[in-house]
Chains A and B, each alone.
Chain A
Amino acid sequence: AQSVAQPEDQVNVAEGNPLTVKCTYSVSGNPYLFWYVQYPNRGLQFLLKYITGDNLVKGSYGFEAEFNKSQTSFHLKKPSALVSDSALYFCAVIFYNTDKLIFGTGTRLQVFP
């Protein structure tokens, strides 16, 4: 079955430290991968996407993600976390020609001052 997994419910990071939010996917074929962020009482904001090309994708607010085909992973990273990065992060995948976004369960990022 096609799916996407976020193995960590919560990630805690000190401000200024690097952060990683993990995402793995299971698919037959080539997926389109996305990261979204959700702040309290708001909708989802698009951060970045991987379609094809360079495995390292740069997105909004200093975030980047690395696509690893052999490990079927698409981890979200940021070199230096900010308290304002604290939010709920969703990894999502669209499988070719389906147009349906399949979301992971979300990871709550808490950045401590």
Chain B
Amino acid sequence: EAGVTQSPTHLIKTRGQQATLRCSPISGHTSVYWYQQALGLGLQFLLWYDEGEERNRGNFPPRFSGRQFPNYSSELNVNALELEDSALYLCASRFDRGNQPQHFGDGTRLSIL
């Protein structure tokens, strides 16, 4: 069974640009979660999508947005990139809800120059 896959592995942008990160969940998983892992800030919850709808978002500005497609894959879009957006962005998926663990991809490292 293939795990959660994320692309690209690395992404280099400059300030003010826009970035798109992609995630394919484990087959059969309908929920997708996005997290930011920035140096010194730990893992921060960004967004949760389930059945194509945004269910919850963390304490991030509106320039962080995303969507979930009918095949349950997901995109994270970051507009007007700032230096502090440099981080590892992790996607996770989960089957159903409740007490099932989230399974993570290896992340996209976004570097802002």
Contacts and interface: CB of A to CB of B under 8 A. Distances in A.
Q: Do A and B bind each other?
A: yes
A99 B56 contact: yes
B97 to A, nearest CB: 6
B52 to A, nearest CB: 15
B33 A101 contact: yes
A101 B92 CA distance: 11
**Which of A32, A34, A44, A46 gathers most chain B CB within 10 Å?**
A44
Contacts of B42: 103-106
A101 B102 contact: yes
Interface size grouping (class) on chain B: 20 to 34
Nearest to B57: A100
Interface size grouping (class) on chain A: 20 to 34
B45 A43 contact: no
| Closest 3 A/B residue pairs (Cβ) | A43-B104, A103-B43, A44-B104
Interface of A: 32, 34, 36, 41-46, 49, 51, 90, 94, 98-106
Given A43-B107, A101-B33, 10 more contacts: A32-B98, A36-B104, A41-B106, A42-B106, A43-B106, A44-B90, A94-B99, A98-B56, A105-B42, A106-B43
